[in-house]
Structure 1
Amino acid sequence: MPHSAAATETTTASSLDNNHNSDINFSIRRRPGAASANDDVLKKNGEIFKGAESDRMDATVKEGDDAVAFEYAYRPSSPAHRRVKESPLSSDAIFKQSHAGLFNLCIVILVAVNSRLIIENLMKYGWLIRGNFWFSSRSLRDWPLMLCCLSLLVFPLAAYVVEKLAQWKRMSEPVVVFFHIIITTTSVLYPVFVILRCDSAVLSGVTLMLLTCVVWLKLVSYAHTNHDLRSLAQSTDKSDASPSSLIMEYNYDVSFRSLAYFMVAPTLCYQPSYPRSECIRKGWVARQVLKLIIFTGVMGFIVEQYINPLVRNSQHPLKGDLLYAIERILKLSVPNLYVWLCMFYCLFHLWLNILAELLRFGDREFYKDWWNAQTTDGYWRMWNMPVHKWMVRHLYFPCLRNGIPKGFAIVLVFFVSAIFHELCIAVPCHIFKLWAFIGIMSQVPLVFITNYLQKKFQNSMVGNMIFWFIFSILGQPMCLLLYYHDVMNRKGRMD
C-alpha cells in the first residue's frame, strides 16, 4: 500500500508536469512549508466556499488549476497553525481590533439595568417631575434677560463699523485696538449687570451667560484676525516677495456678510471664508432634531427624578460628616455622569452638527475621542474643539511668540477658562464662592501629574482612569453639591 500510494503521487506529479502546470507543481512541492501559497488560495477562493458543506466542497470549486490547488491545500495533513498569534483579549492585541459587539452588549445591559432602576424608583417615589419643569410663570419675569440677549447684536455691528473704518484708514491701529477692547469688555459686563440686577431663574441666567461668552470669544477672534490680516496686507504692499505674503491665505476685505455668517456658524475662530458642504440633507436634519428632543427629555427626566431629590436631601459637603459627604457624592456621580454625557451628545454632536448642516459648514470636528484621553491636558485638547482652537490660535501661540514660557502660557489658558466657567455659574446663581474657578485651576497640577504617570508607567489606562475618576466621579458631583447648598442658603437668608 505505501508503494502504490507513492506510485500514485509520482504518476500525478508526472502528469501535471506533462500538462505544464508549473504553478500547481510549485504549490505541491512547497507543501511542507507552503503557508503563503495556501493563504493565497484561501483568499482567492474564500468567498466561493464560505457556505459550502465539507463533503460537497470539491463540487463547488471552479474547474482547473484552482480546484487542484484548493483540494491539496485542505488535505488532512495541511498545517492548521502557521504563525504566532495572540488571544483577542490579551493586552497586546485588545486595541488592534473592533469591539463593536461588546459595545452593543454593554448598551443592552445598560438599558436593561437602568430600566429596572427607573421602574423601581417610580414604584417607590412616584412621579417627581414638577409641572413647571419646562415652563413656569416665573419665566415671564425674565424678559429683561431676553431683551439683553437680543441687544447683544449691537456689539458685532459696532465691531464691524470699527473694522470698516480701519480698512478705509480712517482710524489708526492703536485707536482700533482701543475700541475693540471697549466693545468686548462691554459685551461681557452688560449681561452680568442685567443678571445681577434681576431676580431671574438660574437656567435663564446660565443661558444668557453662555451666549455672552460665545459672543465675546467671537468678537476677540474677529478683531485679532483682522488685525493680523491688515499686518499681512501692509507687509505685502511693502514687498511682494516677503515671507508673510506666502502664508496669507485670504485677502483683507471687511465684509458684513462674512461677519454675519461667522456670528451664527458653529466656530469661534473667524476667517473670511470656510469650507462648505454641497447641500443640506433635510431628512438627516429631521432625524438629528428628533434625537435632540429625545435626549433633552432624558436629561430633564434624570435631573428631576434623581439629581434634585438627592441634592435636596443632602448636607453641605464641607460642613457635615466626611463619610456621609463621600456617600452622597458617589451616589450622585452616576446620574450626574449620565446627564453630562447626554449634554455632550446634545450640544457637541447633535446641535452643532444640525447648525453646521443648515449653514453648510464643512469642518465638523467639534470634538475628538476625548474618552480615550491618557492625560488631563489630552482631554482638554479633545473635549471642546471650538474652544481649544480659539485658545491655541488667540492665546497660547501669541504668548509663545511674545517670549512667554510654555508652562506659564498653559497656566494662562486655564486661568482664562476658569474665569469664564465661574462667570457662567456664579453670576446666574448670584454667588461668588469661586468653586468653578478652583475646579478648573486644579486641572493644572493634574496635567503635570498625569503626564508624569503616563511617562513613568507607559500605560494608556493609568491616566485615563485617573481622568474619569477625578473629573467625572469626584469633581462634578462635588461642585454640584457646593453650588446647590450655597444657593439654598442664599435664598434662605433672602427670605
Structure 2
Amino acid sequence: MVIPDAVESDPDLKHRGLRRRHGGLHDSPAEEESSGSEEEVVKESSSDECNGKSVNLNGGEKEQGSDVPAVEFIYRASFPAHRRIKESPLSSDTIFRQSHAGLFNLCVVVLVSVNSRLIIENLMKYGWLIEFGFWFSLTSLRDWPLFMCCLTLAIFPLAAFFVEKLAQRKYISETVVVLLHIIITTTTLLYPVLVILRCDSAFVFGVALMLFACIVWLKLVSYAHTNYDLRAISKSTEKGEAVTSTLNIDYTYDVSFKSLVYFTVAPTLCYQPSYPRTPSIRKGWLLRQIVKLIIFTGVMGFIIEQYINPIVQNSQHPLKGNLLYAMERILKLSIPNLYVWFCMFYCFFHLWLNILAELLRFGDREFYKDWWNAKNVGDYWRLWNMPVHKWMIRHLYFPCLRNGIPKGVALLIAFLVSALFHELCIAVPCHIFKWWAFIGIMFQVPVVLITNYVQNKFQNSMVGNMTFWFTFCILGQPMCVLLYYHDLMNREGKVG
C-alpha cells in the first residue's frame, strides 16, 4: 500500500506526535531513523482505504488520485489502537510462523556459560583426568593383529569380484554364485570377531575394526544382490523381454574392477555401476572440514574422559542398586552423553563422510536428514542414518515385501538385523555378551508404537518430538552406558 505524502498545516501539531514528509523525504537522517516505528504504524493503521477513498486530516474523505495532499494522523487520541484479531507471539498458533533467533542466541549464551562453569568445577574437583590407555595403546604391539586384520579385509571384496566375473562369463551356476557370496560375507564378519576375542586389544581399536567389518559386510551384500538383479535383467533382455522403467536408468550388466574399487571406498552402502559426481575438489573447503574434525574429535574425547568416566566410576549397577540413586546417575550422565552423541554424529555423518565424498567427488551427500525434528522414534530411524536406511530399504525391506512378507514382519526383521550388528559392535570389543545392545534396539519396536500413539493422540509434533528425545537420549543411551561399564568392570574383577 502506497503512503501519501504528509503535509503539516498547524505548527501546534508538532507537539502532538505529527511529522512532516515532503515528496517522501525526511527533514534529517536523525528524523528518518526515529520515525521508523511511526511509519510502521502508518502502514498498518493510518490510511484506511474503503471504496476508493482515504481518511484526511479532519476525518473527512478525499477521492483517490486528487491533487489535494493527504494528511495522516499518527498517535491521535481518537485513532483506534486495536483493530484486528491477533495472537500472542508465543501462542501455539503463531510460534512456528516467526523467527526465534534471539531466543536461540540466548540458549547458546546460557549453554556456554553453564558449561564453562561445569568445566571449571570439574577441573577443581578432579583435576586433569585424561588418560589414553583405555583408548589407545601405542606403547605395545597388542593391537597390531587388529590393524593387520583391518588391512586383510580387502581380500573379501576382491573374492566377490572374481565370483562375479565367473558368473558373468557363465563359468558357474547361479546357485554356486549365491553359495560363494554367503561364504565370503559370513567370513567377513567371523574373521574379525575371532581376532578381537583372541587379542587383548584396546576398546576403541576393537570397535573400529568391528564397524569396518560390518561396513564391508553391508557393501558386499549390496554388491552381490545388485549384480544378481542386473544378471536377471540381462537374461530377460536376451530372451526378448522388455524391461520397463520410467526413470531412464541404464541396467547394463558389466562387472568392472574400477567400479568395485570406487564403491569400496565411497561413502555409501548401496552398489551401482556409476554414481553422480561433482566437477572438482574444493581444497579450501576440504581443509576447513578436516580442521573441524580434529577439533570436535578432541572435544568428544575430553567430555568422555573428564565427565563421563567419573560419573560411571562413581555409580552403581543400574539394575542392582537403589532405584532413585540409579535414576539420579542416569539423569546426570544424560547431558554429557548427549554432547558426545552430538559430536559423534557431527564428526562422522557430516564431517568425515563429506570429507570422503569430496575426495572422491561423490555427488549424493544426503547422509542424514532432519532427524532432530523426528515426531516419533520411527521417524528418527528413517532420517538419522541415510546410508544404512537406504541399504535396509533396498536390500531387506522391499525384498521381504516382494516375497509376500507382511509389512510389520518386514519391519521387525529390519530391527532384528540392526540389533544384531549393534550387539556385535559393542559386545565383541568388550568381550561381554549380555545382549544389552540387542535388547535396547529391539525395545525400539514397542517404543515406535508408543510414540506413534502419542503423536496420533495429541496431534502435536512437539509432544512426539519431546517423547523421542526423552526415551532415546535422556533415558536409553545413559542406561546402556552404565550397564556395559559395570559388566566390563565385573569381568575384569575391578568391581565387587
- Normalising by the smaller structure, the TM-score range is 0.7 to 0.9
Give yes or no for contact 1:155–1:183 (8 Å, CA) kept in 2.
yes
State the match for 1:5 in structure 2.
none
* Separation (CA, whole Å) in 2 of partners of 1:80 and 1:163: 78
Give yes or no for contact 1:138–1:201 (8 Å, CA) kept in 2.
no
1:351 partner letter: W
For residues 99-139 of structure 1, the C-alpha deviation after alignment (integer angstroms, 9 at most, x for no partner) is 33322221121111101110111122211112646643465
1:165 partner letter: L
For residues 266-296 of structure 1, the C-alpha deviation after alignment (integer angstroms, 9 at most, x for no partner) is 1111111111111111111111111111111
Give yes or no for contact 1:232–1:244 (8 Å, CA) kept in 2.
no
Give yes or no for contact 1:289–1:354 (8 Å, CA) kept in 2.
yes
> Structure 1 residue 327: deviation in Å?
1.1
Deviates more, 1:139-148 or 1:93-102: 93-102
* Separation (CA, whole Å) in 1 of partners of 2:172 and 2:97: 59
Deviates more, 1:239-248 or 1:270-279: 239-248
* Separation (CA, whole Å) in 2 of partners of 1:194 and 1:134: 18
> Structure 1 residue 84: deviation in Å?
4.5
> Structure 1 residue 229: deviation in Å?
1.0
* Separation (CA, whole Å) in 2 of partners of 1:190 and 1:150: 12
Alignment partner of 1:376 is 2:377: yes
Give the direction of change, closer, same or farther, for the CA distance of 1:119–1:170 in structure 2 (3 Å limit): same
Give the direction of change, closer, same or farther, for the CA distance of 1:98–1:51 in structure 2 (3 Å limit): farther
For residues 35-82 of structure 1, the C-alpha deviation after alignment (integer angstroms, 9 at most, x for no partner) is xxxxxxxxxx99xx9993578999xxxxxxx9999x749654898877
Alignment partner of 1:268 is 2:269: yes
The TM-score, its normalising length taken from structure 1, stands at: 0.84
> Structure 1 residue 365: deviation in Å?
0.8
2:419 partner letter: A
1:52 partner letter: E
Give yes or no for contact 1:235–1:244 (8 Å, CA) kept in 2.
no
* Separation (CA, whole Å) in 2 of partners of 1:459 and 1:231: 47
State the match for 1:408 in structure 2.
409
SS in 2 for 1:362: coil
Looking at secondary structure, tell me which structure has more helix per residue.
Answer: 1
Deviates more, 1:76-85 or 1:261-270: 76-85
Give the direction of change, closer, same or farther, for the CA distance of 1:178–1:74 in structure 2 (3 Å limit): farther
For residues 338-380 of structure 1, the C-alpha deviation after alignment (integer angstroms, 9 at most, x for no partner) is 1111111111111111111111111111111111100111010
State the match for 2:216 in structure 1.
215
Query: Any stretches of 5+ residues in structure 2 without a counterpart?
Result: 6-23, 40-63
Deviates more, 1:373-382 or 1:227-236: 227-236
* Separation (CA, whole Å) in 2 of partners of 1:243 and 1:293: 48
State the match for 2:338 in structure 1.
337
Deviates more, 1:276-285 or 1:248-257: 248-257
* Separation (CA, whole Å) in 2 of partners of 1:411 and 1:204: 31
* Separation (CA, whole Å) in 2 of partners of 1:454 and 1:441: 21
1:365 partner letter: E
Deviates more, 1:323-332 or 1:186-195: 323-332
RMSD over equivalenced CA pairs, Å: 3.1
1:280 partner letter: I
State the match for 2:89 in structure 1.
88
Deviates more, 1:313-322 or 1:189-198: 313-322
Give yes or no for contact 1:302–1:339 (8 Å, CA) kept in 2.
yes
Give yes or no for contact 1:425–1:436 (8 Å, CA) kept in 2.
yes
For residues 175-209 of structure 1, the C-alpha deviation after alignment (integer angstroms, 9 at most, x for no partner) is 11111111100000111011111111111111100
* Separation (CA, whole Å) in 2 of partners of 1:82 and 1:401: 61
SS in 1 for 2:141: helix
* Separation (CA, whole Å) in 2 of partners of 1:131 and 1:151: 27
Query: Any stretches of 5+ residues in structure 1 without a counterpart?
Result: 1-22, 28-44, 59-65
Count of residues in correspondence between the two structures: 447
Give yes or no for contact 1:145–1:194 (8 Å, CA) kept in 2.
yes
* Separation (CA, whole Å) in 2 of partners of 1:488 and 1:296: 26
The TM-score, its normalising length taken from structure 2, stands at: 0.84
* Separation (CA, whole Å) in 2 of partners of 1:274 and 1:74: 64
SS in 1 for 2:281: coil
* Separation (CA, whole Å) in 1 of partners of 2:104 and 2:116: 18
Give yes or no for contact 2:486–2:495 (8 Å, CA) kept in 1.
no
